[in-house]
Amino acid sequence: MRRFPWDLLLTLVIGVGIGLAYAWVISPWRVFDSDPVALRADFKDQFRSAIAASYQATGNLPRSQARLSLLGDSDSGAALNSEAQRMIASGEFTQADQLAALALALENENVPGVLPTHTSESSGTVEPETVATLPAPPEELPFELTETPEITEAPIDATQVVETQPVVTNPTLRPTWTPIPTLGVPFSLIAQDTVCDTTFPEGLLQVIVFNSARRQVTGAKIIVSWENGEDQFFTGLKPELGNGYADFVMSPNITYTLRLAAGSDIAEGLIAPTCHTPSGETFLGGIKLTFQQP
């Protein structure tokens, strides 16, 4: 009977173990100068957050678009909105606002009548863009020959001699003013409807936010207040109902006031209405508010 080659198997196991130890511990493979598209999903999120923070500081939209293109996203705006929703869910509202602002700027880039302002960055000293206007050269004048009168030299007083130098005037270069891009004009309350639907929770206050292109805005902060309190909530937490959708449950017989943190019309006197079923029973209805940029 032939003997099983235990020594060969043991040698193979030891060799594989030494190879793995060398590759994983002693000299692991390191990646240098790789493209951002090869990053893991969580590292891509960090990359987008850094781009959004840079855009908030500089307002340079073309530079942000070029950096986002390195990630290889099919829709950069949708990727920013999705990450903003995750940031809001985790309580990181500052980064969520930055991501939402950049996503809104990308959407407004394609809206007619909205012209984003482009600024430039440099690693050294930043010099303002200058525009100089030089005077036009004088037209040639015709020459006329005249007789030169004889000049009689008069005695010169040395105390009255003043040496003069020609004055050369150089045009002054003035910097042009570049406005800082904004997130858009405040939102207007375009609709306020009473909702009597038994399938909805009682006292449901629904809010939908659109931009000027009639696209829903995610990550918009909404502030609702009443006599003894105040609360905040954000759009985009229920994407199945829309990226610009948010809701809040009102208590009976309490008057609420609602506004958008980015600036909007103020909806006052919001009270959960009393509705009736076809059988005559009463229940608390809801209110639906719609905001849009002009």
Structural domain spans, the chain: 36-109, 188-292
Question: Looking at residue 28, what is its pLDDT?
Answer: 80
Alpha helices per DSSP H over the chain: 6-21, 41-58, 61-69, 76-89, 93-109
Find all residues with CB under 8 Å of 269, minimum gap 6, and list them: 255, 257
Above pLDDT 70, what percent of the chain? 71
Tens of pLDDT along 147-185?
544 555 555 454 444 455 555 555 555 555 444 444 456
Measured at the alpha carbon of residue 104, what is the angle toward residues 240 and 241, in degrees to the nearest 5?
10
Above pLDDT 90, what percent of the chain? 35
Does the pLDDT value for residue 289 go beyond 80?
A: yes
Q: For residues 242 and 206, is the Cβ–Cβ distance under 8 A?
A: no
Average pLDDT, the chain: 79
Instruction: Give the distance from CA 140 to its chain's centroid.
Output: 56
Question: Looking at residue 24, what is its pLDDT?
Answer: 84
Higher-scoring residue by pLDDT: 177, 199: 199
pTM above threshold 0.75: no
**CA distance to 59, 110, 115, 260, 267, per residue, from 120 (Å):** 9, 21, 16, 32, 40
Tens of pLDDT along 48-107?
999 998 888 888 999 998 999 988 888 888 888 888 888 888 878 888 888 888 888 888
CATH entry, 188-292, from 2.40.340.10, 2.30.40.10, 2.40.10.10, 2.60.40.10 = 2.60.40.10
